[in-house]
Chain A
Amino acid sequence: MYERYHIDTSPTKLPSTQIGKFEIIRKDNCFNCGQCMTQCIYDVHTREDRDQRKMAEPVSQLCKNCFSCIQNCPQQALEMVRNSKYESLGNTYWTPDKILTIWNEAEEGKIPVYGAGYRGPFKGSGFDSIWTDMSEIVRPTRDGIHGREYIATAIDLGRKLSWITDFENLDPPNIRVIQIPMFFDTDPLGLCLKNIILAIAKAAHRIGTFAYVNLEDYSDELKPYIESIAFRFPLHKAGHLDSVPWKKVNLIEIVLPKEFSSSKLEKLLVKIKKHNSTALISLGLPSHLLSEEIIKLIQASSVDMLNLYTDSYGNSSEGDMFISESIRKLHLNLVKRHMRDEITLMGKGGIAAAEHVPKAIICGEDAVVLDLSLLVAAGCRACDPCRIENCPAELKKVDSETTAQRIINMMCAWRDQLLEILSAMGIRDVRRLRGEVGRAMFYEDIEKESFDFIFEEKPLFK
């Protein structure tokens, strides 16, 4: 029977993430008149329980930055400052704002909605220098907030059959469908935290996607989620494969070094196919350049997926190319070789907010692999470098059930936001978004197109 895909959310608070942007300070010259209490509509100010003559410490968490109490205090005894704890979150890519947004999404499972217009910089770098498109006039079948359930976020994994050549011996391709174009990386920082790995695998299993698990991270605890686990290992560790139940999984990824022995890889692929013929096989790539060996493997249908690896900032190991650019190059290379539909293309790294998902897909990915964002949902503060021994979020101790639910909440919010973007474009299937750069505006292009003619004498870009 047809079942409509749905992600069940449940509000899940995490004490370590209760950090507000602002702090209200009550100075000593307060004379307890209670004016602030009358002014505040968010209950930041109350009287002390034990002694009603005195004002209690303000509950900064509830403050929404409206300045009403501050501007009405007859003593100028109230002060609002930026919360230093909030300011010290994350780093320049994983900004405090991005972390707080993920925390809220993980807590509530809702799309962030606020009043007043956009507040940020005109444009950022990487994904933040892309705008997505919309259509003013669209087909009758689509209807903004209503009818959004008819938009599909499912994608197919694996080689697609372009045409049928031999009707006698049909060789149906090995295709799997997942309901969201997002994969999980269970151990993006190589921390080997059992509780986190378990939580991410659980979440992947419940919402029907795949979680990458390194061979050494596997334990029997993960057995119930084996259908949703993708084993991942570097080529030189192929010998360890037999330490895990790889014959039962649906996806296996071999991470390639820059240079490798193709005969060794081919042997390994034969072995995998022999004992687990239904598993999809993915190759993890260190760079967007396709070697002849890989092209041959795609042509021979020996592999089903490619996964481009970058770090959690989206930078390739090569240097400063951001994933939006490297994935576009890889995608176009595959298109040029007429083999784009022979392979599923994914990218790991750089996805730090919901809007990065559709933008990565526009740049050519079929699906994204989420990394650090999942840890952030668990309470991580993206410290750089990671100080796991003194982790402020105590990641080693977080409960895996709570974390799984938080990741599910976040995925629900992210999927809903993907739907917003698709619905604004009038696209009803995320598969149609792949590589659709025509449905996006890139900063450099649009800046040239709109402004260069104005400044003909001194062009904006040399």
Chain B
Amino acid sequence: MKNIEIKHRPSPYRSEISLYQISLSDDCFHCGLCVDVCPYGVFERKEGFNHVSTPNSALCEGPNCKAGVYHCVTKCPVDALKIDVNPQWRTLGDFRWTPELIVSTWQQAETGETPNGNREYKTGSSGGGFDRFDFMMEDAAPITPEEVERIDLSISLNRREDGPSVEIPVPWYGAGMSFGSVSLPTMLSRAKSAKAWNTFTSTGEGGYPDELIPYKDHVITQIATGLFGVREETIIRTRIIEFKYAQGAKPGLGGHLLGDKNTPGVAKKREAVPWTSLFSPFPFHSVYSVEDHKKHIDWVKSINPDALISVKVSTPSDVDMVAVGSYYAGANIINLDGGYGGTGAAPEIAKKNIAMPIEYAITKVHRFLLDEGIRDEVVLLASGGIRTSYDIAKSIALGADGVIIGTSELIALGCVRCGNCESGRGCPRGIATTDSELDQLIDPDWGAQRISNLYVAWQNQLKTLLLQLGLKKIKELRGRTDFLRYTDEE
């Protein structure tokens, strides 16, 4: 695989949300001493200016400053400098995506580099599942870049004897997000980065916009219960066909695009009436048993015999049976979508309560497939609540082959998780919107590079982690629960 270039892509906003807030009082006489003493460039006096610019608080490391605690504050001759914890910090994020995690994901998307030691970029603080797991590793010898380079992260998406062989160089690809739930520039950003990485992204169920055709080798066609925009040509075009039975955030409830977001463009792709609410039913009306499911797969295989089949299911207590059934019906990939996953709109009651979190489902299905003797013929991918490179590694250690990434890519594009994707004009940050003004906020090339940068950072983190565990390939990590440890509950 050719190397992906990192390009610095800062956010388009004037200021970042930061943990520390630095203010200059009126006493400041712009001597510029702070500019000289700060090791991080928080203060700046622009060329030809007398005044020091408004401090860039986002760069401040607070008490972890390598020049010493409150170095600049104590140096200021007129006590004009103040560092506080930003009250705004607490308004960002939640248990799963903590403010630190959101900001560190932004940083990785901007720079392509792993945040330095002080910023949390591995886990959230939900108090369970991934957030309670930790890798056990010994303090190994210093790692050289050449060693990191040699680590193999690739996985195969077809482990059956027949059918085409499809390999992806990193153990993840992009989740389905429909045209309608997200904007076209967002879809393009994701498709461009998928192409650059030789991995995949998925159309979701809003049809296959023509703008994605140049990336067709890296776009999965999703067939979901509403069959919106599913046509023969979109099935023929693709290398992987994804059947979406259920979505983790709203298992058993189908989908719902609120009328506000169903613009004429979206409606045209979905062959529906503009500005009406569009419902995807649950379940497939043609599938009421595993035998029907087989017929379903045979149907698309007759249209496109060369495509791999992925089956996306949520995580009820009998998910292991469903996985085995899907395998015997001919699926190449089984995608488990856990209950805490992302969505463009879902009833709150469903996100929290229906179906189990992905962590449980992975081990359950992995073990069941092992017992059944078919584990090595099927690719098990986990999605729904996988936020960081460490979540990816933990999923694989629990038994998945790889993962599918949704929300993290949107965070890379600048999502703040305000949760207003569903109504009115949609996303105020221009991601999950169909508004013709708001969707201009994302430039596909900028977006693709941001996602790529995040991937570069993740790739390096995973490679380093594998080295520390003494492994050479990500495939060797699968099911290695012995590397995991459970931290105590506070």
Residues of A within 8 A of B (CB): 22, 40-42, 64-68, 70-76, 79-82, 101, 111-123, 130-140, 143-146, 354-355, 359, 417, 420-421, 423-426, 438, 441, 446-447, 449-451, 453-455, 460
Contacts and interface: CB of A to CB of B under 8 A. Distances in A.
Interface in B31-45: none
21 contacts: A65-B419, A67-B416, A67-B418, A68-B13, A70-B17, A72-B13, A81-B88, A82-B91, A112-B349, A116-B407, A117-B96, A118-B96, A122-B132, A131-B357, A135-B318, A136-B246, A145-B256, A354-B349, A438-B317, A447-B360, A455-B486
A65 B422 contact: no
A417 B96 contact: no
B355 interface: yes
Interface stretch (B68-76, B161-169, B285-293, B298-306): B285-293
B483 to A, nearest CB: 10
Contacts of B340: 117-118
A441 B354 CA distance: 10
Given A113-B422, A135-B252, A137-B283, A119 B91 contact: no
Interface string B291-327: 0010000000000000000000110111100100000
Contact of A118 (B132, B283, B289, B339): B339
A420 B428 contact: no
B94 A120 contact: yes
Given A114-B345, A117-B340, A451-B363, A143 B352 contact: no
Contact of A80 (B88, B131, B245): B88
Contacts of A64: 418-420, 428
B92 A454 contact: no
Contacts of B350: 420, 424
Contacts of B256: 113, 145
Interface in B380-439: 384-385, 398, 407, 415-422, 424-425, 427-429, 432, 438
Q: Which 7 A-B pairs have the closest CB atoms?
A: A122-B128, A115-B421, A424-B252, A144-B282, A71-B13, A119-B94, A144-B254
Nearest to A35: B14
Nearest to A66: B428
Interface of B: 11, 13-17, 54, 87-88, 90-92, 94-97, 126-129, 131-132, 225, 245-246, 249, 251-254, 256, 279-283, 285, 287-290, 293, 313-314, 316-319, 322, 339-357, 359-360, 363-364, 367, 384-385, 398, 407, 415-422, 424-425, 427-429, 432, 438, 481-482, 484-486
B397 to A, nearest CB: 9
Nearest to B424: A41
B253 A424 contact: yes
Nearest to B348: A112
B345 A137 contact: no
Given A122-B357, A132-B354, A137-B288, A76 B15 contact: yes
A450 B360 contact: yes
B348 A140 contact: no
Contacts of B359: 450
A417 B342 contact: no
A122 B129 contact: yes
Contacts of B97: 119
B429 A68 contact: yes
Given A71-B14, A80-B91, A446-B360, A117 B351 contact: yes
Contacts of A137: 245, 283, 287-290, 293, 322
B347 A111 contact: yes
Contact of A115 (B14, B279, B343): B343
A132 B91 contact: no
A26 B126 CA distance: 33
Contacts of B385: 117-118
B356 to A, nearest CB: 5
A79 B128 CA distance: 32
A447 B425 CA distance: 41
Nearest to B254: A144
Contact of B417 (A119, A123, A450, A455): A119
Given A79-B88, A144-B253, A118 B322 contact: no
Given A71-B15, A117-B341, 5 more contacts: A73-B14, A115-B346, A119-B97, A123-B128, A136-B245
Contacts of B428: 40-42, 64, 66, 68
Nearest to B420: A64
A83 to B, nearest CB: 9
Nearest to B430: A68
A134 B316 contact: yes
Given A123-B128, A144-B279, A441 B15 contact: no
A410 B95 CA distance: 27
A41 B438 contact: yes
A225 B266 CA distance: 51
B346 A113 contact: yes
Contacts of B285: 140, 143
A137 to B, nearest CB: 6
Given A81-B91, A114-B420, A424-B354, A450 B363 contact: yes
B322 A136 contact: yes
A136 B283 CA distance: 7
A420 B349 contact: yes
Contact of B17 (A67, A113, A130): A67
Given A66-B418, A71-B13, A134-B251, A117 B484 contact: no
A441 B421 contact: no
Nearest to A117: B342
A111 B349 contact: yes
Nearest to B54: A76
A450 to B, nearest CB: 4
A53 to B, nearest CB: 22
A125 to B, nearest CB: 11
B14 A120 contact: no
Contacts of B11: 71
A133 B355 CA distance: 5
Contact of B347 (A68, A70, A113, A117): A113
A143 B252 CA distance: 9
A219 to B, nearest CB: 37
Contacts of B425: 41
Contact of B281 (A146, A417, A424): A146
Nearest to B407: A117
A122 B131 contact: yes
A84 to B, nearest CB: 11
A131 B421 contact: no
